[in-house]
Amino acid sequence: MTIGQNASTAKAVLIAAAVLATPAVAWAGPGDLYYERAFVVAADARCGLFGEPVEQALAVAAAQARGAALRSGAAEADLRAVADRARARAAAVSCRDPELAVVRQRVDGAFAGWARTPRMTFPGETRHWIADRTAWSRAGWRLKQMSRTGAAPVTFGYAAATDPSALTAVVSFVGKSRPYAARLVFRDEGKAPRAWTSGDGLAPAASRTSVWATGVKAADPALLDEGRRTGEAWRFPASAADGLARLDPRETFLVEFHFRDGSIARARFEAGDFAAGRAFMAMGAL
């Protein structure tokens, strides 16, 4: 499914949600989009409107809408208030309301096909998250974003045929020197609760946290960048994904590779719609 097709599918659920949405949100556009999707998710949680595949597709849609609202300049606190209003509206509607039945019918129609979509691209400012739900039984990327450090290509995300919950960074360095350690670096919510969107989107050093890789091995050829014959696959704990998913889509995080001579090679990645991509992967393999 193309990005344009993704947008068309999104419009279908907006029409469905608008049946019961109220004009409580002051802004137009992305804030309304998030309100409407949050309302449908909350109504489903209360009334059991949809089966699991559609529920999972709605989770992806809600995460996308949140990312779009943040990119448009909405504050995180405002979006929490939007979600609260959507849940309150859903709580006030009877599960037997005939208009809710219309919502159910339209959303089912809009997302039944999306739940069977094998691939999606979640666009960012300069880099995209690319998801693939096919052929998880063999090596390949399930969710990835590509970057570089110097001349070395770096791909980061979830790889099939490995620990499904572990994040992986695959790098192909030129020459014989190899890093002895790798880590993820991103904003620490405890030190800096608000998103850091100034400059290049990377929080100042004093406001960062890091997660070290737990292991490394030779990368499967299917995970290597085109034209590369060898590389290393660094594995990171699953817990790191929660921190990345909570970043503002405009924020940046790093994968650092540490060498014994004291040098550090850094690859820069966009947080983007990582949360939406992870929700898409949670829909399972096709």
**pLDDT tens digits along 88-121:** 988 988 999 888 888 888 887 777 777 788 999 9
Mean pLDDT of 155-166: 82
Rounded CA-CA distance 216/25 in Å is 48
Which two structure tokens, joined as six digits, stand for 223?
Answer: 């995970």
- What pLDDT sits at residue 176? 84
246, with CB counted inside 10 A (0-12, 13-18, 19+), is middle
Q: What is the mean pLDDT of residues 269-284?
A: 91
pLDDT tens-place string over residues 224-267: 999 999 999 999 999 999 999 999 999 999 999 999 999 999 99
Q: Which residues contact 212 (CB under 8 A, 6 or more apart)?
A: 181, 182, 183, 236
53, pLDDT greater than 70:
yes
Please identify which residue in the block is written with the tokens 């005939």.
98
Residue 96 to residue 100: CA distance in whole angstroms: 7
Percent of the chain having pLDDT more than 90?
A: 53
Provide CB contacts within 8 A for 95, sequence distance 6+. 46, 47
Q: What sections of the chain are H helices per DSSP?
A: 3-17, 30-47, 52-71, 76-92, 98-111, 240-245, 274-281
Distance of alpha carbon 206 from the chain centroid: 25
pTM of the model: 0.82
Determine the Cα–Cα distance for residues 102 and 106; give it in Å rounded to an integer.
6
* pLDDT grade for 62, boundaries at 50, 70 and 90: confident
What pLDDT does residue 253 have? Answer: 98
pLDDT for the residue 12: 38
Does residue 1 or residue 147 have the better pLDDT?
147
CA dist 16 and 114 (Å) reads: 15
Backbone φ and ψ of 143, nearest 5°:
-150, 125
User: What are the φ and ψ backbone dihedral angles of 81, each rounded to 5 degrees?
Assistant: -65, -40
The residue among 252 and 73 whose pLDDT is bigger is: 252
Position 185 confidence tier, pLDDT thresholds 50, 70, 90:
very high
Q: Which has more confidence, 246 or 12?
A: 246
User: Hunting for tokens 């791909």 — which residue is that?
Assistant: 155
Q: Which residues contact 28 (CB under 8 A, 6 or more apart)?
A: none
pLDDT digits (tens, 9 = 90+) for 126-146: 999 999 998 677 789 999 999
pLDDT band at 209 (very low <50, low <70, confident <90, very high): very high
Give, in order, the Cα–Cα distances in Å from 40 to each of 80, 143, 225, 233.
16, 26, 40, 40
pLDDT of residue 164: 67
How does the average pLDDT of the chain come out, rounded?
85
